[in-house]
Amino acid sequence: MLPNVLQPSATDHVPVLAAEVRECLAVRPGETVVDATFGAGGHAALLAADLHGSGKLIAIDRDPTARTYFERLEQRERVQARLLRGDFGIVLPQLAANGVRADAILLDLGVSSMQLDRPERGFSYSVDAPLDMRMDTSQDLTARDVVNEWPERELVSIFRRYGEERYARQIAKAIVRRRKEQPFTRTGELVDTIKCAIPTPARFGEGHPAKRVFQALRIAVNDELVSLAAALPAAVEMLRPGGRLAVIAFHSLEDRMVKQFLRERERGCTCPPDFPICVCGHEPELRAIQRRPVRPGEAEVAANPRAASARLRAAMKV
């Protein structure tokens, strides 16, 4: 059991489920560690410290602002480190194809604190800001483009699929009606439209009334589920035997994908139950480190409410 005391990181950012991630990944000196969602470097700093100056850290992030946090970490941690800028759904398959192998890989999914805490990025429904939501600020597609240009039926589809929004059709209709008069440019305009489109009781239900639509737009703008589907098999391919994979998800769509993927890779024989012997030859690639998802404790949620929906799943390569 690792000590439940967090050392100061290269930033002031306190990562979610930090002690639990360290315990699952169990990083040892001399190993190669991949933090595929570097962000502000909170998890990476702790994992790099566990290398004790011997080993390699590969950091991946599509957000250009991650460079500043990475340089701070480099100055503090005496370990060989490299930052690769890009979508982990592209970078991990490239690394795997080039024969790069790792002993521990972390995916901390969703939007990072460094993005949420900058209003100008447009991720938050709580602050009026430009409609943006790009994790990679060099890409063309923004939330403003989606809201103003995508057909109503596509808006309904992403609100339902990515946001699990009950009032997807009503909200999409209201958006299309409003944009005919004046295009959306600000998050506040979208929040007001959502509030007016849903029944009055729903405005005062659990959570912010715009939460699910903003989640759906963010996933669509950044193609997050496609990236995750590409990253998971590449991560397993990269792992050496005995290597560990840990994934933190913050909403049911991501967590369901991770759960199904890990279970499929943990399966052995896939022959029908009535077959007397195995003829498929399928062997498990992974073994679960934790049978149930690890959730933050009450103390962590009290200190960091954003951690409340976090779910950690981890597995070891056989």
| Annotated domain spans of the chain | 18-108+224-317, 119-222
What DSSP line would sit under 13-64, residue for residue?
---TTHHHHHHHH---TT-EEEETT-TTSHHHHHHHHHTTT-SEEEEEES-T
Q: In the predicted model, is pLDDT for residue 300 greater than 90?
A: yes
The CB-side HSE value for 108 (13 A sphere, CA atoms) comes to 24
- Provide mean pLDDT across the span 296-308: 92
How would residue 63 be classed by pLDDT, with cut points 50, 70 and 90? Answer: very high
* 160-173 pLDDT per residue, tens: 999 999 999 999 99
Question: What pLDDT sits at residue 4?
Answer: 36
What DSSP line would sit under 219-238, residue for residue?
HHHHTHHHHHHHHHHHHHHH
Question: What pLDDT sits at residue 200?
Answer: 86
Question: What pLDDT sits at residue 90?
Answer: 98
Task: Report the C-alpha gap between 140 and 143 in whole angstroms.
Answer: 10
Task: Report the C-alpha gap between 4 and 18 in whole angstroms.
Answer: 9
Residue 287: strand pairing partners:
316
Question: What pLDDT sits at residue 2?
Answer: 41
What are the residues whose beta carbons fall under 8 Å from the beta carbon of 47, sequence distance 6 or more? 21, 22, 25, 27, 33, 35, 57, 104, 106
* 119-132 pLDDT per residue, tens: 889 999 999 999 99
How would residue 13 be classed by pLDDT, with cut points 50, 70 and 90? Answer: low
Which two structure tokens, joined as six digits, stand for 104? 């521990």
Task: Report the C-alpha gap between 251 and 259 in whole angstroms.
Answer: 12
Spatial contact of 216 and 146, defined as CB atoms under 8 Å apart: no
Q: In the predicted model, is pLDDT for residue 245 greater than 80?
A: yes
Q: 197-200: long-range contacts (C-beta < 8 A, 24 or more apart)?
A: 197/167, 197/170, 197/171, 197/173, 198/167, 198/170, 198/171, 199/167
Task: Report the C-alpha gap between 234 and 197 in whole angstroms.
Answer: 42
* 209-231 pLDDT per residue, tens: 999 999 999 999 999 999 999 99
C-alpha distances out from residue 147 to 187, 224, 245, Å:
11, 18, 36
Q: Bigger pLDDT: 279 or 40?
A: 40
Query: Which CATH superfamily does the domain covering 119-222 fall into?
Result: Putative methyltransferase TM0872, insert domain (1.10.150.170)
Q: In the predicted model, is pLDDT for residue 25 greater than 80?
A: yes
How would residue 118 be classed by pLDDT, with cut points 50, 70 and 90? Answer: confident
Question: What pLDDT sits at residue 12?
Answer: 52
Alpha helices (runs of H) in the chain, residue ranges in sequence order: 18-25, 42-50, 66-76, 88-97, 113-116, 143-149, 152-161, 168-181, 187-197, 200-203, 211-222, 224-238, 252-266, 298-303
Q: Bigger pLDDT: 99 or 118?
A: 99
Task: Report the C-alpha gap between 79 and 65 in whole angstroms.
Answer: 21
Question: What pLDDT sits at residue 8?
Answer: 35
C-alpha distances out from residue 117 to 129, 174, 233, Å:
12, 28, 31
What letter does residue 10 receive in the DSSP assignment? S
What letter does residue 305 receive in the DSSP assignment? G
Question: What pLDDT sits at residue 191?
Answer: 97
Question: What pLDDT sits at residue 10?
Answer: 42
Neighbours of 192 (CB within 10 A): 15
Task: Select the CATH number that applies to the domain covering 18-108+224-317 from these four: 3.50.30.60, 3.40.50.150, 3.40.50.20, 3.50.50.60.
Answer: 3.40.50.150
Q: Using the structure block, give the residue that is written with the tokens 């933050």.
A: 296
Question: What pLDDT sits at residue 7?
Answer: 40
Q: What is the mean pLDDT of the chain?
A: 91
Which two structure tokens, joined as six digits, stand for 245? 């994979």
